[in-house]
Amino acid sequence: TAQARQSRALIIVNTDFCSSAGDVVLGARRGAKREAEKLSKALSELNYKVKLMHNSTAKEMEDLYQQECSREHGEFFVSIISSHGEEGAVFGSDCKPLQLTRIFRILSPQNCPVLAERPKVFFIQACRGGALDQGVFLETDSGQPEPCSFSEYLRIPPNTAVMFACSPGYGAFLNPSGSSFLQALLRVLDGEERGLALGRLATRLNGDVALRFQARGTFEGCKQMPCFVTNLPQEVFPFSAMSESRRLLPCPALQGGPEEEEERQPGCK
């Protein structure tokens, strides 16, 4: 059926966190819920069948990906995760980490044959560490190697692309208007750039975040640089399809007027 041929999108947004002991150890993520709802609408208008989940525990997040193995899929599978995080993991609403390797293993060809031949695209809005990007290039003679951004957790399944909001080891920013990364994605989905091949689209996102965004408040002047990792064997155009009734609506930029203090999204410890 036409419904079965629709590409699928899974959006997971965690905004409120509480451990099993009742402790609130990770801060609330203001602005993330409304941003995820806008992304759900944008993808629906691009003919995706969207599942939007709020405040899922680590186990519930894992189960959501497991359920995709028994779904009927169209040409693409897109997933957006918006949560607290650390290098190699995202946090559930129960403050427990879900390793990205676990998600990728679930969607591997061996465990998820239905997605084996379909491009899988992830956008991950979460911290990858506690470092702050001051927006300058530093050279060192220390001889100490930089942490490897292609560590074991990035053994992504074949035919997969992953775009992170920030570089390895760094924090991602969020304010009540939303995140610089997912706001940039919204602008792309609402503009002509949506018809680009994914690699070129990712480059546009890099430039948008790197050049338009600058933190204010406590982290005044800090920058952010997304990171794109792919093993796709050919160019793909996941957002070029659109419904005839789609209306192009402007997405507000993050620069208009004073904002509240920027927040790193830890897990940044």
| Contact predicate 203/116, CB 8 Å | no
Neighbours of 230 (CB within 10 A): 17
Give pTM, 2 decimals: 0.81
Pick from 227, 99, 103, 116: nearest CA to 162? 227
pLDDT on residue 156: 87
| Centroid of chain to Cα 69 | 21
CATH of the domain at 63: 3.40.50.1460
pLDDT on residue 105: 94
Residue 8's pLDDT band, with cuts at 50, 70 and 90, is very high
pLDDT on residue 174: 84
Mean pLDDT, residues 67-88 = 95
Gap between the Cα atoms of 51 and 260, Å rounded: 30
Residue 247's pLDDT band, with cuts at 50, 70 and 90, is very low
Q: What domain range is 105 assigned to?
A: 8-134+152-231
| Centroid of chain to Cα 108 | 19
Tell me if 197 is assigned to some domain.
Answer: yes
Tell me if 141 is assigned to some domain.
Answer: no
Rounded to 5 degrees, φ, ψ at 49 are -90, 110
Tell me if 254 is assigned to some domain.
Answer: no
Mean pLDDT, residues 259-268 = 42
Tell me if 258 is assigned to some domain.
Answer: no
Tell me if 181 is assigned to some domain.
Answer: yes
Tell me if 142 is assigned to some domain.
Answer: no
- Looking at the structure of the chain, the number of domains it has is 1
Beta pairing class for 173-175 and 97-99: unpaired
- Beta-bridge mates of residue 123: 80, 163
Residue 169's pLDDT band, with cuts at 50, 70 and 90, is confident
Amino acid in the structure at residue 117: E
Tell me if 67 is assigned to some domain.
Answer: yes
Beta pairing class for 160-164 and 173-175: unpaired
> Is a pLDDT exceeding 90 seen at residue 73?
yes
Gap between the Cα atoms of 210 and 204, Å rounded: 10
Tell me if 252 is assigned to some domain.
Answer: no
Mean pLDDT, residues 261-266 = 45
Q: What is the pLDDT of residues 196-219, one digit of tens each?
A: 999 999 999 999 888 876 666 666
pLDDT on residue 82: 97
> Is a pLDDT exceeding 80 seen at residue 34?
yes
Q: What is the pLDDT of residues 103-156, one digit of tens each?
A: 999 999 999 999 999 999 999 999 998 766 555 444 444 344 344 434 444 578
Amino acid in the structure at residue 138: L
> Is a pLDDT exceeding 90 seen at residue 175?
no
